[in-house]
Amino acid sequence: MFLDSDDWFRSHVMRTALKIAEKHQADIVHFPLQTLDRDHKLSPRLLRRAEKKSLPYPHELLGRDVFRKYFAEDAYGWSAVQKLYLTQVCRKAAEFIPDELSLMGEDFALFTVCAFFAGHYVPMKQKGYIYFMDSGISGDHKTTLTKFLERQSPVPALRIVRNFLERENVLEEYRAAFAGQERKLLGEYMFRWMRYLPDDDRTRAFNAMFLQYDRSALFAAIRSFFTGRDEHLLELLTGEDPEPVPCPAGFSHIADGSTPQHTDISIERWQEWRQLIRENQLDCVILAPDPDTDRLFWDILAIRDAGAAAVCRRETHYLDTLDSKGIKHWLIEDRILRQASAVLAPDEESAAWYRKRNCHAGIKLENILPPQRCPQTSAIMHALENHELKSAPYRIDPSADGETFVPFFRKLDHLFRKIPSAFRKKLFGFLGKTYNKICGY
């Protein structure tokens, strides 16, 4: 049995689980847990949801169904605790677990291999494990960039499981299942990125994640994570990145204006970029301005992932977005362009600005100049970014049919954010129209 240092076993669990294991000749006995909160900060609903999520599968499982129900069908969880194991199963699994630091996702790696070798799974009805949700590596605590990348990354665990499936010649059979588990763990990683990192470290952490792991898998996980959320990735991508994106000195095969057939932001579009670049042996793709900022951002990363330089063409002065759309959109544009290999600016003043923002930039492709990062410029942008972050929770964008109703609803917005986003948008739309009508806008 396994026990985290900050949790407890209930007094009866060893005796009861052992009796069940001996009676059924089980390899794994799985018992429910009880969730507690030492500081009484978490809602009872959250505690109940955690208990429900960790319930055992309600029936016995034999043979490969032990692994398939867990890994492919998500019928029960991979927590290493809450279970009594046949010792030989753990010893056999341990042979496939390398001596590698894997704190976040270590249960996933160990239990996946154990479940693969187990031949008989039996559930237990009585709760046997007391789990404190507010402590340990999974606790709700602010973190540092180093801890986030080294101690809270599920990447080592994902690599262990993928390598194991390859060695057992079952990766093709379970490829879709592995992708689902991958999205789940990377989604938890993104949650920690969003909630527990300081604002100044988010861009550094994001870029480091894309150096750690398969970029297309991260793309799929991040898109899945942010779908339906109030938070917008490009608004959260804050802080400086100390290293500029590399840009080659010259290009021999350039595509200017080429776009994939898939217009939506999808894994198909990501893969289409890769195919387009490899088939045409492109070393540079010039991207025109795109009104869909999300799509432009992911296009840049997809092109770079395929091995080509992603060069963004700008058609207006660098301050145009600030003048026409405001600080929020200007900051988002800045974050996008700092992910590009280079920026083609419409004038030398704009090119100089982009170079100060850590970008390769120029007015022509043949005279792109390297970054000349300016601390004063960075300080100004940092101040604007902090202002935007502080005001974002109270900001309600203007209604489509008239003036904003921020002056009246700003404080209410802070309370309404607890309402699901889809319903809140409908509610605010109705309130906005009503407000505009009353005020004569």
Question: What single-letter amino acid sits at 283?
Answer: D
Q: What is the pTM of this model?
A: 0.81
What pLDDT does residue 280 have? 94
Q: 254-391 has which fold?
A: Rossmann fold (3.40.50)
CB 216 within 8 A of CB 223: no
What pLDDT does residue 77 have? 92
What pLDDT does residue 223 have? 94
What pLDDT does residue 403 have? 44
pLDDT in tens, the chain (441 residues): 999 888 999 989 999 999 999 999 999 999 999 998 887 777 888 888 888 888 999 999 999 999 999 999 999 999 999 999 999 999 999 998 887 656 678 899 999 999 999 999 999 999 999 998 865 545 556 889 998 988 889 999 999 999 999 999 999 999 999 999 999 999 999 999 999 999 999 999 999 999 989 999 999 999 999 988 878 899 999 998 878 999 988 899 999 988 899 999 999 999 999 999 999 999 999 999 999 999 999 999 999 999 999 999 999 999 999 999 989 999 999 999 999 999 999 999 999 999 999 999 999 999 999 999 898 999 999 998 988 887 665 555 544 444 444 444 555 555 666 677 677 777 777 777 776 777 665
What pLDDT does residue 134 have? 66
Q: Where are the domains of the chain?
A: 1-140, 141-231, 254-391, 396-439
Side by side, which strands form the sheet with 284-287? 254-256, 284-287, 309-313, 342-344, 361-362
C-alpha to C-alpha distance for 260 and 271, rounded to whole angstroms: 9
Nearest to 246 by CA among 289, 293, 310: 310
Nearest to 52 by CA among 66, 38, 33, 36: 33
What pLDDT does residue 90 have? 94
367-416 pLDDT, tens per residue? 999 999 898 999 999 998 988 887 665 555 544 444 444 444 555 555 66
Q: 23 is written with which tokens?
A: 């009676």
C-alpha to C-alpha distance for 198 and 238, rounded to whole angstroms: 9
Domain 1-140 has CATH 1.10.3720.10: no
CB 289 within 8 A of CB 343: no
C-alpha to C-alpha distance for 332 and 233, rounded to whole angstroms: 10
Chain centre to alpha carbon of residue 87: 36
What pLDDT does residue 401 have? 45
